[in-house]
A = this chain, B = another copy of it.
């Protein structure tokens, strides 16, 4: 059970975030450092944005809120691709903070969570592996951690590790004797190597997405997050909320794309009338309204499920599929409404479209969630 934090005036906080983004963040969206060769905002820009957020009292504004309250805050933060990064509530840091809050020891909290929550460092979550290892199917985890006296030695390869480049530390998932275990390690520890940073269709995540090689990475027992062999359980703790905060942030970006498209349609003439007066355009905008509302309701519903103390695995799968696909339809329509302008970087719509295309894959493609929901339908009906 997570109760709403009654000491925070959420509408006021949301209003402050809106104003902050408008004044301090959006003007930097076309700064070359904002996408930094497609690998997300540069660390220099991240520092600059966070300094501004800190000055505005808006660093990690979601900490201490219920999931439902977080929804309001992150939807506002997501209106700019730089917003959640500026406010320090971006993936994977935000999910890592959540996990550390739930599982970390006092020492780990002091050493890792504190600077992370303060927005002074970034972090990574090293779970996914290349072909043949753990991706959508965690059962294929191939990275191992072997006990060696009171140390552990980790070997393996991780892929698609968001934010690794430039991160101060990472949470590494590795197979241990009776399950999987999570380890905390500084990213500059001996044996951790960023082998490659992908060029990707999205360009909002600081550090991009990397392949990491783990060669005899040696950590001591203090590096274990929670308990040995409990890694899959902790992954579940992180999973549903992280999936949902993704929905929240991208919702904000899609809402902004819709507003840009609607404004354009109410200004631009074609064939003798405003675009919005062409039903072909007006209907797309109407469908956007409907999709935005439905996505918002799914997010809020799932957040309330999480606040109730439930794990929310099925609910967050439902929300992930529904929201990511709705937001994609929305940004696709926005591109279409803008016409030629829609495929240029002149508005944020083009980036929104690309980011949300990637979102349909990240945190599990829709197909994996449907597969898991179908399993649930069977479980309710077919006795084992």
Given A199-B345, A371-B280, check contact A361 B336 (CB 8 Å).
yes
Contact of A60 with B by CB under 8 A: no
> Which listed residue, B137, B285, B318, touches A289 by the CB 8 Å rule?
B318
A97 within 8 A of B: no
Check B301–A345 contact: CB distance below 8 A: no
Give the interface centre of A281, A286, A371 by most chain B CB atoms within 10 Å: A286
Question: Does A255 reach chain B (CB closer than 8 Å)?
Answer: no
Chain B residue contacts of A136, Cβ below 8 A: 270-271, 339
B335 & A361 in contact (Cβ 8 Å cutoff): yes
Interface members, chain A 108-156 (any B CB < 8 Å): 128, 131-132, 135-137, 139-140
Q: What number of A residues sit within 8 Å (CB to CB) of B?
A: 77
Contact between chains at A343 and B290 (CB < 8 Å): no
Q: Chain A interface mostly helix, strand, loop or mixed?
A: helix
A16 contacts B by Cβ under 8 Å: no
Task: Please report the C-alpha to C-alpha distance between residue A350 and residue B201 in the assembled complex, in whole angstroms.
Answer: 7
With A and B bound together, what is the CA distance between A318 and B285 in angstroms? 12
With A374-B286, A377-B289: A339-B361 Cβ-Cβ less than 8 Å: yes
Closest to A282 in B: B374
A160 and B340 contact, CB distance less than 8 A? yes
A228 within 8 A of partner (CB): no
Chain B residues with Cβ below 8 Å from A345 are 198-200
Tell which of B132, B271, B281, B377 touches A269, judged by Cβ atoms closer than 8 Å: B132
Cβ of A294 under 8 Å from chain B: yes
Query: A278 touching B367 by the CB < 8 A rule?
Result: yes
Q: How far is the CB of A87 from chain B (nearest CB, A)?
A: 25
Distance from A360 Cβ to chain B, minimum over Cβ atoms (Å): 7
Cα distance A292–B6 when bound, in Å? 32
Q: Establish whether residues A382 and B286, one from each chain, have CB atoms under 8 Å apart when the complex forms.
A: no
- The residue from B159, B279, B281, B290 contacting A278, defined by CB atoms under 8 A apart: B279
Contacts of A177 in B (CB 8 A): none
Give 11 new A-B contacts, CB below 8 A, not counting A136-B270, A340-B361.
A199-B345, A200-B344, A200-B350, A276-B381, A279-B279, A283-B367, A290-B373, A294-B297, A294-B298, A336-B365, A353-B357
